[in-house]
Structure 1
Amino acid sequence: MSEIFVMYELDRPRSAHTRTGPSPDDGRTVRRVHAATAAPASSTDAGPRTLCGHDTFAMEQAPRKPAEHPGPTWYPAQYAQLVCAECDAAMEG
């Protein structure tokens, strides 16, 4: 599988995703956490769809963590209760 990007589905999305996650002071909250593969010919941008098929255009990309320091899960621990079940199943499969 190619590189995985963590994508935040926010309560009030912006017009396009950015490379920084939601700011605690911008008034938006994470509703769901999705996974997406890299865009074609890119290793720094998420592709147009999450693993469950949602459009990533209005989502925000989580800050990236270096591959040499992978965590125990593909998503940030503080969002464990918000992980998309379909994306999680695709990541395990």
Structure 2
Amino acid sequence: MSGIVVVYELDKPKAARASSGTQGGEEQSVRKVHAAPAAPGMSSSTGPRTFCGKDTFAMRTASWRPAEHPGAPWYSPQYASVVCPDCDAVIET
């Protein structure tokens, strides 16, 4: 799985509250977790499209690296409920 980069498709920004109750920065939650092939010669940069065909430009690269977790799924277990089924199907084949 060394040629796979995990990327997050994010929801639109939501206003986050600072601990004092005032408006803080913006917080984005993960809408879908996708997989993309690594860019040629780069192990942590994505190619232009995910395995399901979505553009990776506006996606955030995950810190989860499949190659660092042998025997684990290609995605972080905390995001199992939002994994793109099309990307998952491509990787499983």
TM range (shorter): 0.7 to 0.9
Structure 1 stretches of 4+ moved >6 Å: none
Distance in 2 of aligned mates of 1:68 and 1:81: 21
Contact map agreement 2:66 2:74 (CA 8 A) in 1:
no
* Structure 1: runs of 5+ lacking an equivalent: 14-24
1:76 aligns with 2:76: yes
* Structure 2: runs of 5+ lacking an equivalent: 14-24
Show the counterpart of 1:67.
67
Once the two structures are TM-superposed, the CA of residue 64 in structure 1 deviates from its matched residue by 4.0
Q: Secondary structure at the match of 1:44?
A: coil
Show the counterpart of 2:17.
none
TM-score w.r.t. length of structure 2 = 0.76
> Greater relative contact order (Cα 8 A, min sep 6): structure 1 or 2?
1
Q: Secondary structure at the match of 2:78?
A: helix
Once the two structures are TM-superposed, the CA of residue 40 in structure 1 deviates from its matched residue by 2.4
TM-score w.r.t. length of structure 1 = 0.76
Distance in 1 of aligned mates of 2:58 and 2:51: 15
RMSD over aligned Cα, in angstroms?
2.2
Provide the identity percentage. Answer: 59
Once the two structures are TM-superposed, the CA of residue 72 in structure 1 deviates from its matched residue by 1.5
2:74 corresponds to which letter in structure 1?
W
